[in-house]
Amino acid sequence: MDTLIRCEHLKKTYRNGVTAVQDFTAQFVSGAFYLITGASGAGKSTLLHLLGLLERPTEGVLSLCGNEISAMREGRKAELRNRFIGFVFQSYYLHPNLNALENVMVPMLIHREIPPSQRKQRAESLLEKVGLSERSSHYPKELSGGEQQRVAFARAIANEPDIILADEPTGNLDTANGQHLIRLIKELNEEKGVTVLCVSHDERIIAQGSRLINIEEITCAE
């Protein structure tokens, strides 16, 4: 299988002096479903932020789809992020002044591969996929937490990412909504070959037969 993400001796020290990730070396192959575990504070979220190019490593090599990112300009990183990565985080970060349909369209406006004439239709079909066709004109504050998470998921996959980075995606969801989201993620992995890296303690996600990465076994915290 192709290596999609390569990490060598990654380290992240925040400005306050906390080293959240220390000496992380791993390769993530295309099409796999990785489950990232480790105690609270072990650096799981930080690792996802590094892999998602949202944070810059203090040391080490990170390459994404064959592109070494350390020397890359912010603009190019944003392009890669938008093209290759879908984020499913516990906080949905939906734009409060945009309705569900418009929120799902946002990534398509940034990454212009999808022609304008197809964007609305595509957003509608994504909302249908997550069972929210009836809610397309609703604003985030008019949606339940589970519905907001599903809109965020539709937005995350709007540009057909190669990688899904998920940080406790079911953390704020009730059982039914959690199951629905897990099904959607699993479906993308199995049917479209999307690589999934998921931080979770949710037994239902753990039961997916994923490749397990325990961050504490790979890194040695200071």
Residues near ligand ADP, by CB under 6 A: 14, 16, 18, 20, 38, 40-46
- Closest approach, Cβ 34 to ligand ADP, in A, equals 15
Where would I find the H helices in the chain?
44-51, 74-84, 100-110, 116-129, 145-156, 175-192, 203-206, 215-218
- Closest approach, Cβ 59 to ligand ADP, in A, equals 16
Cβ contacts of 84 within 8 Å, gap of 6 or more: 64, 65, 161, 162, 163
CB closer to ligand ADP, 78 vs 221: 221
CB closer to ligand ADP, 114 vs 199: 199
Three-state SS string across 101-121, please? Answer: HHHHHHHHHHCCCCCHHHHHH
CB closer to ligand ADP, 44 vs 180: 44
CB closer to ligand ADP, 42 vs 213: 42
Spatial distance between the Cα atoms of 201 and 198, rounded to a whole number of angstroms: 10
Spatial distance between the Cα atoms of 72 and 76, rounded to a whole number of angstroms: 6
Pairing of strands 163-167, 211-214: unpaired
- Closest approach, Cβ 91 to ligand ADP, in A, equals 13
- Closest approach, Cβ 7 to ligand ADP, in A, equals 15
Four-point Cα dihedral 21, 26, 31, 34, nearest 10: -50
CB closer to ligand ADP, 100 vs 218: 218
- Closest approach, Cβ 44 to ligand ADP, in A, equals 4
